[in-house]
Structures are given as C-alpha cells and as structure tokens.
A and B are shown apart, each in its own frame.
Chain A
Amino acid sequence: MHRLATSLLFCATLLLDTAAQADALNIQLILSDSSPPYQKFEASFNKALAASNADVIITESQVINDAEADLVITVGMRATESALFKTSKPILAVMVPKVAFENLLSHLSSEKSALSISAIYLDQPWDRQFDLLHATLPNRSKIGLLYSMGTHIDVELLRQNIASRHGSLVAQPVRSADSLYSSLENVLENSDVLLAIPDSAIYSSNNIRNILLTSYRYRIPLIGLSQSYVNAGALCAIFSSPEQLGEQAGSAALFFARSGQLPGSQFPADFIIAVNQQVARSLEIELPSPEVIRNLMNKAKKDRKNK
C-alpha cells in the first residue's frame, strides 16, 4: 500500500511537472558577471516575476539550452555578445549602454539581424539629463563635455539638442592622455557645468581624482553617471539601479509571456536622483532636494509632451 502510494505520487509529480514545462515560459538568464550589480538585478527580476504569479521558469546559467529556452535575457554587454551567437531565440538585453548595443547590432550578419532582439538600456535619455540640469542648475547653460576619440556620442546632434534648449555645448576632444588636462582646463574655462559621459578613456578611476579636483578648483560642478560619481564628489547624478532595471525586465518578460513579442528597446523607466549637498554647499549652489528635483523633472517632461 505504501509502495503504491509512493508510485502514484511520483507519477502525479511527473505529470504535473511535464505539464508545467509545456505551458510555462522558459527564461534563460545570462549574467555577464557574478558581481553584486548583476546579482541584485537577478534577485529583483525573480522577485518581480514571482510577485506576478506568472507561469515562468527562470534558469540562470552561462550555457544556453536553446531547445528549452523561450526567451533569453542577457545582463550586460558580455552576455549579450556571446548569446547572439549561441541562440536563435528572442533576446532581451538589459543593463547595456544604448551606443554599445546599437553598435553590436550594426555588426550582425543579415541572418542574425533577423533575430527578435530588444534592450533595456542602462543609460538615461538625453532629455532626462537635460531636465536634471535645468532642475538643479537653472542658471547654467554652458555645458562642458570631454570626449575621447573613441567615444560614440554624436557631438553635433548633442550640440543641436542643447541649442534647442537655449544652451550651448562646450565640447573638447581629448586626443591623448597627455592632453586630458589642457582639454579639461579649456572646457572648464568656458563652461559652467561639466557633464560626464560613459567614456572609460576619460572617466576612469585613475583620472577621476584630477578631474574632480580641477573642476572644483574652477568651481565648476560635475554631473556624474552613478552613485559612485556622487560619492566621489560629483554634484549630482541620475541613474537606474539594477533593482529598478530588474523590475522593468520583469515587466518586459511578462509582456512577452502574454504577446509572444518583445517590447521595443527602451530607456530605463525608473531612476534615482543622487545629490551631494556637501559639494553643493561648498560651491555655493542652492541645490533642491531630490524630491523637488523629481517634481521639476516630471513637470518638464509633461510640458514637453504637451507641446
């Protein structure tokens, strides 16, 4: 009797399990790295889907089981790059910079580019960055920018964008490591805020000290790209945390589960506003609180939509 019951239970479990596998959405999660940001993303993503009660199975692995996967979610550029050549399933790339992601796509062969692929970027849209600038430093319109020769930021497009907002862009290329500081001085001399961009040749941990100290000597604030920038001495930054991106990726996965299609590539929906009040005070900048900055930014966004 006891044996029979055990067998029945086993069969039932097997049946149920097979049924689940047949219906559930199989998501393969591939992390570029096991460091905390990726771990945090994963935890938040899992939590978002668990909370939705959706029928989803998430497998975190470095190896793609293409036969079983319905959707591949790659976290970071390294995972995205490698997945492109290992799967034919739809890919959602998250925590990737827009420029890097688009560059990767442009290098795909034609058969690969037929893949269904979409992204949730890590960087913030320019409009949002300008809204931040306007909310925090309304009287500063000369925006300084340093870029290395390898930067894939369209400086001219940015210049037009800033001009349309009645500002001016003071952009200075940095051609070699030797010329970083003379370029920096040139920019600081002629601008009233310095905007950091994702450019590892300039904003590296080796250079950040002298960039921050020099801009502080010129009394020009730096707008950073992360909490780490703000801790180091940047005036403020907007950025999306891995947790926020995990939630957004969760929503995208649910959308896929419902429609079988990935949403279009998108910027982060949620973001954090970090400010360094000590730096603001020392530079005699009257910086509003993050809540006030957010309200001002929301209002600017609304006004833009209504136009």
Chain B
Amino acid sequence: MTIPRLPNIFLLIAALAAQAVLGADFSSEQDFLQDFPVVLSASRLAQPISETPNAMTVIDRIMIDASGARNITELFRLVPGMYVGYDNGHTPVVSYRGSTDGYARRMQVLIDGRTVYLPPYGHVSWSELPLDIGDIERIEVVRGPAAASHGSNSVQGVINILTRPASSIHKAQVSVNRGNGGISDVSARLGGTSENLDYRMTVASRSDHGFDNHWPDEVNDDSSTKLVNVRAAYRPTGADSLDFQFGYSNSTGMDGNNTSAPDDWDTVRDAKTLSSFQQISWLHTVHENNDVQLSYYHIGQNFKDDRYAVANPYPGGSQSWIADDTFVHRHEIELQQTLNASSINRIVWGTGMRYDLVNSPINLASPLTWKEYRVFGHDEWRMTTDSLLNTGAMIERSPLGQTRVSPRIAYNYHLTARHTFRASVSVAYRNPEMMEVFGDRRYMLVAGKYQEFTGAEGLNPERTVAREVGYVGQLDNAGSTLDLRAYHDHIDNIIWVDPVFDASSINPFPLSFKNDFSATYNGLEGTLNFKTGEHGNLTANYAHQLVRADPIGTLTLLPMSVFYQYADKYSKTVPLNSASLLLAQSFSGGMQLGIGYYYQDKVNVLDRTEGQPIMRRLDLKLAQRFGSSRNQNTGTTYNEVALVIQNALDDNTYTDYNPAAVAQRRVYFSATLSF
C-alpha cells in the first residue's frame, strides 16, 4: 500500500479564506427533507462505561490540561494501580500492577489503533513518540485483559490513546513552556475544515535536563525531541471516509556515566532516535448499522546509541567502538466490521496481520522477521433490558508458530439505570519478545566479548486468567460517577531472567530467560469522579494491591534458596496502596486551577537492589485564559498564561525507579496564543 500524498495545505487555506460570510438563503422545505450521510455509525459509537466488559479509566482533555503534565507518561498516575517510574528523565517505565523491570511487557499500548509496543525488547519509546501531548483528545485505559478487542499482549491492560480528530483544530495556535531544569518546549498547531477535507498539523519541540542526582551518583539524562504530526480526513462520498496520519520525530537522550574503568561501555553519550509512522484507515459505512474499516500503518524506528568504551590505560591503549543500533519496521493491516445485527446484538469482528522486521547487530545474531496473524470477534448481547453479555475471543498465530485462543466473557447487570454490576472472566497470552527468545546482546571490548543477554528458545507464552467483579454508578444528575472493582488475576509462566554460564564471555554469567514464576494478583480499585459545580471536577483514584509469586522449576545455575528469594521479592513489586487526586476547576473570568496529588507506597522493582520509598507528589497549575473563548474548557482555541509547579512540596524522598535519580521541584511558565 502506498502512502497517500498530503493535501495541499496552501490551496486549502486559500479555499477556506475565500468562503463568503454566511447568510442563509430563505429556508425552504429542503431543510427538513434533505438527506444526510450516516455519521455516528456503529463503529463510531463507543460502549458506555457501564456496559464495557472491563473496568476503564478515561483521561480527557480537561484532566490533561489540569494535570500540568508535559509528558504523556505523567498522566498515567491518574489510573488506579498504574505504576509510573523513570529509569532516567527520558526513559519512563509505565506498567499496570507494579513493575518487575524497566520494560513493561504486559500491556498493549495503542495510538489511534497503532500498536507502539515495539520489538525487540517489547517496550514503548514514550519520550520519542512523534506525538505532542497537546494533540491527545483522550486516553482510555482498559484495566484488565482485553485481547478479544485489543489484540495480543493485552494481558494486564490496554492504554488506548486517541488523538484529536483532523476536524478539531480551526485556528493557528502557538504554545511555549519555559522553566527550571532546562524545561523548554515550543509547539505550533494549525488546522482547517472544509466540505470534504479536514486537516490538522503540529510541529513541536520539547527539551529538559532530566532528573537531578543523588551525589555522588551521576544521572546524565538531558533530552530533546522535535516532532511533526499530521492528520487529515478526506470524505470522497457520504459513506466513505479516509483518515491519513503521519508523524516524524527526532530525539536525543543523554545517557551513561563519566567513568575511567577500562572497557566500561556505559560512557556518556547522546543516543539518537528517529521515529516515524504512516497510517491510513478507510471507513465505509454500508448503513447506520454496518461499518467496515480497513487500516494499514507502518512504524519505523531507528535507534542509535553509539559510543566508545573507555580506552585501556596502557600506552597506546585501544578502545572499543560500540555500535548499539536498532532498526525496527512494523507493518500492520487490519480489516474490521462492526455490525448491529439486531437491536439487541452488536458484533465486532475482524482479522489482521502484523509484520515486524528488526535489524540490531548488537542485540540479535541476524535480522529477524516476525509475522503474526489474528482473527477476533466480540459480541454484545442485550439479554434483557437490564442485562448485557459481552463475549469475545481472539485467535492468534504467534510469530513462533503457536496458535492461541484468548477468550473473554463479561456479564453486566443494570440494577437501575444508574447502578451497574459487572462480573467477568478472561484469558490472555503474552508472547515472548524477540530478545527473550533470540537475544544475543554482546559488546566486543578490548579484553574480549562481553555477553549481556542470551535468548532462550522454547519459552512458553505467559498466560493470564483474570476474574473480576465491578460496580459502576452514577451518583447525581451532574454526572458524578463511582467505579469500583475487585480482581483476582493469575499469571502463569512469567518470563524473567535466568543467569547462565558462557565461557567465551568476559562476563561468564550472562542473563538468559526462563518461565520463572507463576503469580497471583489480588486487589481493589476505585475511582470517584465528582462534579464540583458547573465547571469543576474532582477525580480520586485508589488501588490496593497484593501479589505473591511461586517459582516454577529450577534456575540453571542459582540454587533454590536464591530462587525463593526472588519469588519473595516479587511480592514487593507492587505498592500496597496507591492513590491519586486531581482537581480541575475553572472560574468565571477564565481562571483555571489544577491540583494533582499522587501517593504510592514503597515498591521494589525486581531488578533493582534498592527499593523505591513512599512517593508523595503535589502538582499545581494556575492558568488564566483570556480573549473571547476564555470560559471554554475543552475547546481547542484559547489564549492562556499558566504557572505550573511540579513536585511542589519538593519531597526529596520521592525518587524514581532509578535510585540515583532525584526529582526536585520543577516550575515552569507557559503561554498559549491562538489566532
């Protein structure tokens, strides 16, 4: 499939400018008799939260603005049970149900249906995404396995980021942030709508100096990202619409330490990432109850973390060049049909194929091509006026040639129109990542080969069986809601490290992988969304989590006593209690206040020796909007000056995933102008 050419923006602007002042001709009966195309067809109508088969958290534009967040990942603290940590300023760790290591592999992450959870490690390059936080319309987080509707690796949850539609930007807008810690962001967006073509485009640059450090530790994590993001919608007929998107980003992230140890490969350098994507979706509305959508996208990522290792000190000592390069290409095509088969039955089914190509000489012995095929179906059956049965399954053929079925069944019962109970059971699989199976990460140093990781063929996929009961209630006419759930998830065959012996390596015990644990997660989660008057909203989230893990089999080299210690430590990978609060309040006259408070009990990520202490963080945002649309909350065109204080209490006990990093208070000013 070829990538569509962009609309000629200049022609478009000229066409829009040429439109005359509106004056209706005298209304004739045609206003009543005209035919319209079906707009809100079956696939565009989302299930209400009270009828979804999983618990769901929605982070909307008002919350995004009130949070004062500059980076997308900070928003996930607003999801009950979501762990957000940082390896360094530009390497966040976002993971549902605590974290076992720096890679969150048990979650599907989608941006407008594009999965950005990339090989070879199975990670999301959050900081390098060609997406500005200002272009996010809303984020839907499915808490629980959802392979039947969101594809493979939707094991513990799904982050579904929906960007603003092409038609949502009508003016030019420029926004600037300046603050301490080197915060310097600029973004400019432009958009227009016309008879059958809408477009929006964003150019943005974001940079900061990252975290401070615990002396004498070093954290070199200055970073910057420059990006372009374009979306256009074209409607050739009333029944067809084409959505084009493309994005490109160029990121630099500093890493490493000033070290003098010979052959130390972790030297200070700037890693460079180029990311791009092209996406096209064709939605054909057969009639209001039947939509067919065909979509294709390509993601390309070029990661270069090249550097010299420290030179050997003897006279004329040589040094090694480490070409830490990874090239990733993903192509995916999907066909989906949404059908209101009857007034009580809605069916979504489809099929897709994914093709991943990874060339990373430092990580893999040879370039790898993985193909994955899937068929999925979901049925929403309104059994009675009060009850709903969601059933679905995905059948996938994994890149390793295994065929798996991930079913889900959920029963929602409306006690009254405002109070709903839900019970569900689902099964989902996480396929092993390329690194886990074929990884061969090694450095050629002066002293010889240093083997870091070695893949393990024959790994089984991780398998989750999740059970939950939930409640969704509407508390008042203003729309305040309460969402509660209790869950019991069992994950089998958790893949984690297993040190092995390699005589050819100067590091004789590289890490391999093994199906190490089975773990049981139990917990309670709740979200209260309370409307504080006409223009205020308070969101409160709470999660109580427990996990226990048992070893499977034996480790290759380490004794059982060490294995049991690992399993014991596993129980500390989730914070026992975590909570977040966000108040978004706007006042007449255009003043807006955002207060965010985040709490997380101690966590000890499995691959860290030091635990992360209790985190308390307070963020404040005070904004003044001005101009004709100053009282708009969700509109896209406004003028604003704002002051944001992140970690206002300067709680120095608040450290992140990486104990060397310390997040000190950050203050930044922002100004946004629309014209």
Q: Interface on A for B, CB 8 Å cutoff?
A: 32, 37, 76-78, 95-97, 99-100, 103, 122-123, 139, 148-152, 174-178, 180-182, 185-186, 189-190, 198-206, 208-210, 212-214, 216-218, 225-226, 228-229, 231-233, 239, 276-279, 281-284, 286
Contacts and interface: CB of A to CB of B under 8 A. Distances in A.
Interface in B146-175: 165, 167-168, 170-171
Nearest to B40: A233
Size bracket, chain B contacts: 35 or more
B33 interface: yes
B637 A182 contact: yes
Contacts of A199: 24, 27, 31
A205 B35 contact: yes
Nearest to A95: B29
Contacts of A77: 26, 28-29
Contacts of B167: 181, 210, 213-214
Contacts of A276: 40
A77 to B, nearest CB: 5
B66 to A, nearest CB: 16
Nearest to A149: B23
B185 interface: no
B165 A76 contact: no
Contacts of B45: 278-279, 281-282
Contacts of A204: 34
A95 B30 CA distance: 10
B198 interface: yes
Given A198-B31, A239-B32, A278-B45, A208 B37 contact: yes
Contacts of A206: 195-196
A148 B23 CA distance: 6
A185 to B, nearest CB: 4
A200 B30 contact: yes
A198 B30 CA distance: 9
A231 B36 contact: yes
B40 A175 contact: no
29 contacts: A32-B29, A78-B28, A176-B21, A177-B22, A185-B632, A190-B631, A199-B24, A199-B31, A200-B24, A200-B28, A201-B23, A201-B24, A204-B34, A205-B36, A208-B36, A208-B37, A210-B167, A210-B193, A213-B40, A217-B137, A218-B634, A231-B288, A232-B38, A233-B38, A278-B289, A281-B48, A282-B46, A284-B50, A286-B417
Contacts of A209: 37, 39, 235
Nearest to A97: B27
Interface string B1-42: 000000000000000110111111111111111111111111
Contacts of A208: 36-37, 39
B228 to A, nearest CB: 23
Nearest to B47: A282
Contacts of B47: 282
Given A150-B25, A206-B196, 4 more contacts: A96-B29, A148-B22, A176-B21, A225-B32
B636 A99 contact: no
B553 interface: no
B40 A189 contact: no
Contacts of A279: 40, 45
Contacts of A203: 31
B340 interface: yes
A228 B32 CA distance: 9
Contact of B343 (A151, A277, A283): A277
A233 B291 CA distance: 14
Contacts of A182: 170-171, 629, 635, 637
Contact of B629 (A99, A150, A186): A186
Nearest to B674: A182
Contact of A205 (B48, B168, B198, B238): B238
A103 B31 contact: no
Contacts of B26: 77, 100, 103, 150, 152
A191 to B, nearest CB: 12
A6 B165 CA distance: 79
Contacts of A228: 34-36
Contacts of A210: 167, 193, 198
